[in-house]
Amino acid sequence: MIEVLDINKSFEGKKILHDISANFYDGKVNQIIGPSGSGKTVLMKCVIGLHIAEDGQILYDGRDILNMRKDEIKKLRREVGMLFQGSALFDSLTVIENVLFPLEMFSSMTKIEKEKRAIFCLERVNLLEDKHKLYPSEISGGMQKRVAIARAIALNPKYLFCDEPNSGLDPVTSLVIDKLIKEITQEYDITTIVNTHDMNSIMETGDHIILIRDGHKTWEGSKDDIFKSDNESLQDFVFASQLFKTIKTVHNNN
């Protein structure tokens, strides 16, 4: 479990995050949602430690990342996997080499064991063997996301971060990725934090959701609470489109 307690973050005097507190639970897909520019990515980067929060606490199962030494942070990061918005696969490495990379760097397995583990991870994300020797530029965006998930889970992480995992994907492929993230989260009991503004993704996988607006946490709940809530900020964000207004009407009538 990751606990965020009263963190603030500013850039060049401009305050981006205001006293954010939130809990992210094990075995659940925890989502940070909100409109573009609301501070979702900054919050996620603060939680990971890529940005340093100015105050407060960020506790990884009780360990405060803001008070850790550099070597402790490095050690903690080996328990973290991350899926980036643009996949962030290494261009110069093939698909399988990308998944092997964290294993080569940190694992004490033998060469054969590492290869077995990489193949297992790629199979887990349903990537066929004929794609393993291709370079990231030779596969589709959806496949790149799946390779990035395989790389993220290669070292059996305790915490998985996904920054807009559906960005640039068609609705069908987005669902595949969402499903995969949810399955992996439950299967390995990972604390997963997903940063998204994709409504399909929110309704599909949002076990625990926090809404960020202008750097403030304005709502917290699950996907089932969305229809029950009368939070103005949530209503403005979730039911902005005609489609979701209709869905809400139908849902309320039922």
Partner 1 sequence: MRKFLQEFGRYSMLMGRVFARPENRKMVWKQVPVEMVKLGTDSIILVAIISIFMGVIMTMQVVLNTENPLLPRYTTGLMLRDTYLLEFSSTIMCLLLAGKVGSNIASELGSMRVSEQIDALEIMGINSANYLIFPKIMGLVLFMPVLVTLCTGLGLLGGMGVAKFTSLITVDNFVYGLQYAFIPFYFTYSVIKSIFFGFVIASISSFYGYYANGGAIAVGQASTNAVVKSSIMMLLMDIVLTDIMLT
User: Is 153 near partner 1 (CB under 8 A)?
Assistant: no
Chain Cα centroid distance, residue 236: 23
User: Is 165 near partner 1 (CB under 8 A)?
Assistant: no
Closest distance of CB 201 from partner 1, Å: 20
Of the pair 80, 226, the CB lying nearest partner 1 is at 80
Which of the stretches 32-40, 60-68, 102-110, 221-229 binds partner 1 when contact is defined by CB under 8 A?
102-110
CA–CA gap between residue 64 and residue 245 (Å, rounded): 41
Closest distance of CB 29 from partner 1, Å: 19
Residue with tokens 């809990």: 23
Of the pair 161, 239, the CB lying nearest partner 1 is at 161
Please name every residue paired with 3 in a beta bridge, in sequence order, or none if there are none: 23, 59
Which of the stretches 7-15, 53-61, 104-112, 205-213 binds partner 1 when contact is defined by CB under 8 A?
104-112
- Applying CB under 8 A, among 33, 80, 149, 209 the residue interacting with partner 1 is 80
User: Is 76 near partner 1 (CB under 8 A)?
Assistant: yes
Give the count of beta carbons closer than 10 Å to the beta carbon of residue 53: 23
Q: Which two tokens stand for residue 24?
A: 């992210």
User: Is 109 near partner 1 (CB under 8 A)?
Assistant: no
Burial of 147 (0-12, 13-18, 19+ CB in 10 A): buried
User: Is 234 near partner 1 (CB under 8 A)?
Assistant: no
- For residue 67, which of 56, 80, 78, 75 has the smallest C-alpha distance? 56
